[in-house]
A and B are shown apart, each in its own frame.
Chain A
Amino acid sequence: MNKTTIISLGFLLVMGVFPFFADSAWLAVGTTFLVFSVVAFSQDIILGRAGAFHMGHAAFFGLGAYTTAILNTHFGWPILATWAPAVIIPMVVALITTAPIIHLRGDYLLVTTIGINIIFLQVLENDLFGITGGPNGIFGIDVVKIFGYELFEQIHMYFMAFILLGITLFIMKTLDGSKFGRAMFYINKDDVAAQSMGIDLRYYKLYAFAIGAGLAGAAGSMFAVQYSAVSPEAFDVLQSIMFFTIVLVGGSASLPGVLLGTFVMFVLPEIFREFETARYLVFGLAMILTMILRPRGIWPAKFGNIPAFLKKGKK
C-alpha cells in the first residue's frame, strides 16, 4: 500500500463517518463541501488540466441547478429524470458559448468567461422566458424519489453528494490515463509543442469545457435538490472566483490539492463564521500569503517533468 492509497482511504473513511457525528448545520456544510468539491474538480479539468483560464464556472454550475429546478417545478418532471438534462444542457451551452472564444489567449479568455457568467446572471435576474423566477429564484424543488422511497433527510443528501464525488474522483482518475488526459497534460505544459505534434488545441480545450460543464451541471442539480431552492446570487461571479481560487490555492491538477482547496476556501470560512465582519479580510490576506509562500498551491501535483503515465513501463 503506498501513501496515496492510505491518504485516499483515510479521506473516504473520515467523510463516510462524518455525518454520524455532525449536527444538522454541520451536515449541511459537509454536503455543500462535497458538492463544491465536485464543481472544483470540474473547474480543475478546464483550468488545471487544459490550462484554459476560465473564471465563469458558476454559470455552468447554475445552469445545472436551474435545469433541475425549472424542469421539476414548471414541468413536473421527477428529479431523477432531470439529471440527464442537467448534465447535457450545460455541456451544450458550454460548447456553444466557448466555441467562438476558445482561441483567445490567457487573460482574454478569462475576462470573456467572466462575461459568460455575467450574461447568465442577467438572464436569471431579468427572467428572460418567465421561468427563472427573477431575482428571487425558484422555491419548492422536490426531493429525490427512488423505488417509492423519498430521500428527504439531510443524511440522504449527504450520501447522494458523497456518491457524486466518488463518481467524479473515478472520472478524474480515468482522465489521467486516457488519451484525452495525456493530450491535456501536454497542452498545459507547452501548447505550441503539443500543436506541432498534431494535438488539436481547439478540440481538446472544447472537450475540457464540455466535460467540466457537464460535471458542474450534475453538481448544480445536486445543489438545487439539497437546498430545494435556487437563486441567482448563488451563481454570481464571486462564486466563479471562488472555484477558480480553490483550484489554484489547493494545487491545480492535483486531486488532494483540489479537495484541500475546497476545504480551505469553503469550510474554514464556515468555521470562522462568528468573526463575520473581519472574516474576508483575513481570507484575502491568506490568499496573498498562500500564493507567496506556495505559488503552485498548498498541495501541488507532483509529476515533475515526467508524468506518471510515462514512467509506468520502466520500474
Chain B
Amino acid sequence: MDIFLQQIVNGLTIGSLYALVALGYTMVYGVMKLINFAHGDLVALSAFAGLTIYTSIFADGGTSIIAVITVFMFTAAIIAVVGVLLERLAYRPLRTAPRLSAVVSALGAGLVIQNSIMLIWGPNMKIFPSDLFPSTIYDINGVVITFTQLMILIFSSVLMIALYLFINKTKIGTAIRAVAIDQDAAKLMGINVNKIIMIIFIIGSALGAVAGLFIGIYYRGITFDMGWMYGLNAFVAAIIGGIGNIPGAMFGGLMLGLFNALISGYISSAWAETFTFMLLIVVLIFRPTGILGEKVAEKV
C-alpha cells in the first residue's frame, strides 16, 4: 500500500508537469489545428535558460524566495518571446498552406531550437543546483513527499486554475474560445485573430517554461534533446484528455503521469513508453476524440 501511495505522489508530480506542457500543445492545436512539434524543445530551452540565469545572477549561492521567483519570471518571459517569434517566423506564413507543410515547419523549428541549445550549452548533460528549493522531506505515514514535489503540485494547480478562470471568465478568454471554434466568424465579430494567436503562444510557452524549470529542479540532470520525449508524452496526454480541450489537457496529463508511475512501480520502467502508447491506442479506439473531447460533426 505504501508503494502504491508513493507512486501516486510521484505520478501526480510528473503528471502536473505533463499537464503544464500539454496545455501549450492543446491551446495551439485548438486554435491552429497544428501539432506544435517545437513546444517540447521550448521546454528544454527553458531549463537551460533558467539554469544560466540562476547561476549568473545568484552565483554566490544565496538562495531566497526572491531569487527563485526572479528566475521563474525571467525564464518564462524569455520563452514566451521565443514562442511568439516561433509563431511569427515559422507558422504564420503557413497558415493557409496544406496542413502537413506546417507540421514539417514545426519539426524544422524543433530541430533549430534543439541544435541551438546544443551549440550554446554544449552536448553534455548539465546539472541543476540542489539548493534552489530547501531539501525538506515530509513523511506522512511512510509516504515521502519532498518540498520540490509539494511546490510542483501547488504551483501547477494554481496555474491551471488561473488559466481555467482566464479562459472561461475573461473577455480575452472568450475571444480565445471563439477563435478556436471558428476563425473566420471570430474575425467578422471584430476579434483580432493574430493577437489572439500571439496570446496563446505567450501563455503556452510560459507554462511550458515553468514546466521546464520544474523538470530541471526535480530531476536535476538536463540534456539538449530531452524536450522531444517530454513533448511527446505531453502531447499524448493532451490527446488522451481530448485535444483542444483545456481541462482535458490537465486531466490527461495527471492521468498519464499516474499511469506511468504505476507502470514503472509495478511492471518495469523499460517498457514505460510502450504502455503509454498502448493506453493512447485503447483510449482512441473507444473515444476517438479523447476522454473529454467533444464529438465534432465533420464539416463537408
Contact = CB atoms under 8 A, between A and B. Distances in A.
Interface of A: 47, 53, 100-101, 103-108, 110-112, 114-116, 118-119, 122-123, 125-126, 192, 241, 244-245, 248-249, 252, 277-278, 280-281, 283-288, 290-292, 295-296
A112 B107 contact: no
Given A112-B284, A248-B104, A295-B101, A119 B119 contact: no
A187 to B, nearest CB: 15
Identify the interface centre among B100, B111, B284: most chain A CB within 10 Å of its CB: B100
Given A101-B284, A103-B288, A292-B93, A119 B277 contact: yes
A108 B288 CA distance: 8
B235 A288 contact: no
16 contacts: A108-B284, A111-B235, A115-B281, A118-B274, A122-B271, A123-B274, A126-B270, A126-B271, A241-B107, A248-B100, A248-B103, A280-B111, A280-B115, A281-B112, A284-B109, A292-B105
Contact of B97 (A115, A119, A244, A295): A295
Chain B contact residues, majority secondary structure? helix
Task: Please list the 4 inter-chain residue pairs (A to B) with the smallest Cβ-Cβ separation, ordered nearest first.
Answer: A287-B108, A115-B277, A284-B111, A295-B97
Contact of B288 (A104, A116, A122, A287): A104
B63 interface: no
A112 B104 contact: no
B77 interface: no
B300 interface: yes
Given A123-B274, A277-B115, 20 more contacts: A47-B100, A105-B288, A108-B288, A112-B280, A112-B281, A115-B276, A116-B277, A118-B273, A119-B278, A122-B274, A244-B104, A281-B111, A283-B108, A284-B109, A285-B108, A288-B105, A290-B104, A291-B101, A295-B94, A296-B98
A161 B29 CA distance: 41
Given A114-B232, A118-B273, A281-B115, A288 B108 contact: yes
Contacts of A295: 94, 97-98, 101
Contacts of B94: 291-292, 295
A119 B239 CA distance: 18
Nearest to A238: B228
Contacts of B35: 107, 110-111
A95 to B, nearest CB: 15
B110 interface: yes
A292 B95 CA distance: 10
A101 B108 contact: no
B111 A249 contact: no
Contacts of B105: 287-288, 291-292
Identify the interface centre among A122, A284, A290: most chain B CB within 10 Å of its CB: A284
A192 B298 contact: yes
A281 B113 CA distance: 8
B297 interface: no
